[in-house]
Amino acid sequence: MTRILHLTSYPTRPPRHGGQIRASHTARMLEAAGCTVERMAVFSRSQNLPDSEPPAVDLDAARAEGRFPGLWQVRDLTTSELAATDTACFEQFVRRAEAARADIVMLEEPWLWPAVRRWGERGSPAPPVIYNAHNIESRSKAAILAESGVAEAAGIVEEVAALEQDLARNAAAASATTTDDAATIAGWTGRPVAVAANGTVLRRVGHLHGILPEPLEPWHSYLLFVGSAHAPNATGFCDLVLPGLSVLRAGQLIVVAGRVGELIRARLEGHELSYLARDRIVLLGAVGELALSSLLGNARGVLLPITYGGGSNLKTPEALVSGLPVLGTSCAFRGFERYAGLPGVAIADDPAAFAAGMRALLATATPAAPLVAPQDLLWDSTLQPIVALVRALAPAR
């Protein structure tokens, strides 16, 4: 039986945002394949929700202003590195990691690589590493930092690029969420990289018609946008959805679920369209699984207004199997390009086209079945290449 140490820089029980959800399903799939999985979450407790699982190594004790103070955009880098640079945190990291007696280390994203690398340099070698890349982090950071006008952006991007490339060169195997990202990582390693797309779960929502969270009413006609507090989510919404609010009529709404609403609310302050947003946008914040299912069960369509970012969008497969028409950007369909031409899917990359798409969705009856065969996009299918990596690597141990 293969023993796997599954390293994440965030909690996965319960999973909240895209990276946590993907990592949680990866661990579940490996357990279903017969592996013993030791989940080891290394993070700062104060930076996560209080009802999350406790960290295996709590980086709070080592936290200070440190590098790049005030730059939340690089917190994943500057917090996770404490597991390697702080003596007490590193020793606790090594004790927990060695106690797992792992055959393979599975590392989600590159942020904990400095701790893993130092572990391997201190005596007995660490187990081989599988690097699960959720996107090309240096590209993603470059776009986010450029949007924020961060003066140190060039140096930070260079540092992140060096980190992920060093990890890719030293990993025994790697996976990516899109073929483009896989090609980039393969160029760093010289070895093939598995493509394991993002997936989703199948929701049964037929029994939820007319059941809605407050303040929504059954007579409302709305389009749904779901997203985490990730800068590209808010930027795309403000650039593409806000300019189209004028096409909405009485009783028509844009409903936003997820912590992206916090970013949108902040950006609406002083926005020239804030007067329209008051009556036409409902920001629900984070919602539970039942509420999300009820929102999907009553919406007229799903919006995917993503204009930049890396990897593939976790909400795209969810939208495709929802039984609802989908309006998204070309960027939102990274890794899912083969579905972009399906009936019921509309692609719009500028504000005028997006507004026309919203008007069309609100005027069209929703389909009664998923746009694609659900099994093609469920996690149990999309993550099989990672299971295959483990099976190929395990005999060598």
Residue 136, token pair as written in the block: 């090309």
The whole-angstrom separation of Cα 328 and Cα 351 is 12
194 and 289: one domain? no
Q: What is the pLDDT of residues 140-149, one digit of tens each?
A: 999 999 988 9
The domain that holds 133 is classified in CATH as 3.40.50.2000
26 and 109: one domain? yes
Predicted local distance difference test score (pLDDT) of residue 274: 72
Predicted local distance difference test score (pLDDT) of residue 16: 84
157 and 265: one domain? no
243 and 271: one domain? yes
The whole-angstrom separation of Cα 39 and Cα 116 is 15
Predicted local distance difference test score (pLDDT) of residue 395: 61
The answer to whether the beta carbons of residues 68 and 152 sit under 8 Å apart is yes
**H helix or E strand, kind and range, residue 189:** helix 179-189
72 and 88: one domain? yes
Residue type, 305: P
250 and 129: one domain? no
Domain that holds residue 109: 3-199+379-396
233 and 187: one domain? no
349 and 298: one domain? yes
Predicted local distance difference test score (pLDDT) of residue 362: 93
Q: What is the pLDDT of residues 165-186, one digit of tens each?
A: 999 999 999 999 999 999 999 9
221 and 369: one domain? yes
127 and 83: one domain? yes
Predicted local distance difference test score (pLDDT) of residue 155: 96
User: Hey, which bits of 280-366 come out as E strands?
Assistant: 281-285, 301-304, 326-328, 345-347
371 and 385: one domain? no
Predicted local distance difference test score (pLDDT) of residue 1: 84
The whole-angstrom separation of Cα 155 and Cα 152 is 6
Predicted local distance difference test score (pLDDT) of residue 123: 73
pTM flag (> 0.95): no
Chain centroid to CA 292: 17
188 and 54: one domain? yes
Q: In total, how many domains does the chain have?
A: 2
Predicted local distance difference test score (pLDDT) of residue 370: 58
Predicted local distance difference test score (pLDDT) of residue 371: 64
Predicted local distance difference test score (pLDDT) of residue 368: 54
Tens digit of pLDDT at every position of the chain (397 positions): 899 999 999 999 999 888 999 999 999 999 999 999 999 999 999 888 778 899 999 999 786 656 888 888 999 999 999 999 999 999 999 999 999 999 999 999 999 999 999 999 987 778 999 999 999 999 999 999 998 899 999 999 999 999 999 999 999 999 999 999 999 999 999 999 999 999 999 888 888 888 999 999 999 999 999 999 888 899 999 999 999 999 999 899 999 999 999 999 998 887 776 767 788 999 999 998 999 999 999 999 999 999 987 888 999 999 999 889 999 999 999 999 999 988 889 999 999 999 999 999 998 876 655 566 678 899 999 999 999 999 999 865 5
